[in-house]
Structure 1
Amino acid sequence: MIRVLFVCLGNICRSPMAEAVMRDLVEKEHLSHRIEVDSAATSSWHIGEPPHRGTQDKLKEYDISTKGMQGRQLQKADFNHFDYIIGMDESNIRNIRTMVGNPDSPKIFRFLDLTDHQKDVPDPYYTGNFQETYDLVLEGCHALLEKIKIENQM
């Protein structure tokens, strides 16, 4: 089983959006039995909360479910459990590396470094632009899925 963890600051906007989109892509490619997807926060602000209403509304437009999703905080044990730990921005990457105690691991990387954008995913909690975030997340998830399929010969 290949395990993927998306991480952002609060685990209510960007990382749950990426989790839901990636799960949807994995299901459509009939790889759910091979790829597990989750998300987490570097902060403890929204533990147990569902995704932000804006995230839910945007995903609903594309018929992507957030059912059962709730915020959780990144744990040190996540480093050993997950094969790919993806931060949505550079600040998340710094926090992830500190929290899991492994600053140089190649399994930790910034989401959009897999695309031509090579920038941070803007936080719609602050920008209000859930469409921009969705578009970038969709592109990043496609790139990540291709990376996983190549690296794991799927």
Structure 2
Amino acid sequence: MIRILFVCLGNICRSPMAEAIFRKKAAAHGLSEQIHIESAGTGHWHVGEPPHEGTMNILSENEIDAGGLTARQVVKEDLDSFDIVVALDAENLGFLQTLRKQTQKVEIVRLLDYSEREESDVPDPYFTGNFQEVYEMIDEACASLLEEVEKEWL
């Protein structure tokens, strides 16, 4: 089984959205039993909270199950237990890279590296309110990431 962790700042907008979207895509490809998917935040502010209302609404509009999503903070041990850690922006990517020990084999990537878009970072809709745009960016990149996972990991 491959283990994938999506990481943003507070784990209430972008990373739970990516977790839910990727989970649905994996299930559609019959890969639910082969891919374990979670999300976390680099910050502690929202630990234990459900996703942001805007995230819940956009997932519901797109018929994506958001059940069981609860914010948690990323910990050093995550880099031992996950195969791929996917940052939603450069700030979180940098944080994850500082946590990583040289002996850890985890692959740390940025989500939009799997996109044809010019942007490098998924903007935080907590501050911008652009949940639809963020959904589209994540959905597109998750499709490409899943293709990569199927080719390289499964």
TM-score of the superposition, structure 2-length normalised?
A: 0.94
Q: Can you give the 5+ residue segments of structure 2 that lack an aligned partner in the other structure?
A: none
Q: Can you give the 5+ residue segments of structure 1 that lack an aligned partner in the other structure?
A: none
Q: Look up the equivalent residue of 2:146 and give its one-letter code.
A: L
Q: Could you say what the CA RMSD is over the residues aligned between the two structures, in angstroms?
A: 1.6
d(CA) in 1 for partners of 2:51, 2:27: 20
> How many residues are matched?
153
Name 1:19's counterpart in structure 2.
19
Once the two structures are superposed, the pairs formed by residues 98-137 of structure 1 within 5 Å of their partners are 98-102=98-102, 107-117=107-117, 118-137=119-138
Answering whether residue 35 of structure 2 is matched by residue 35 of structure 1, we say yes
Pairwise CA distance, 1:80: 1.1
Name 1:95's counterpart in structure 2.
95
d(CA) in 2 for partners of 1:129, 1:137: 12
Q: Look up the equivalent residue of 2:141 and give its one-letter code.
A: G
Pairwise CA distance, 1:101: 3.9
Name 2:59's counterpart in structure 1.
59
d(CA) in 2 for partners of 1:28, 1:49: 28
Deviations 1:73-123, CA, capped at 9 Å, x for gaps:
001111111111010000000111123445x96700111011122510011
TM-score of the superposition, structure 1-length normalised?
A: 0.94
Q: Percent identity?
A: 47
Query: Contact 1:3–1:84 at 8 Å: present in 2 too?
Result: yes
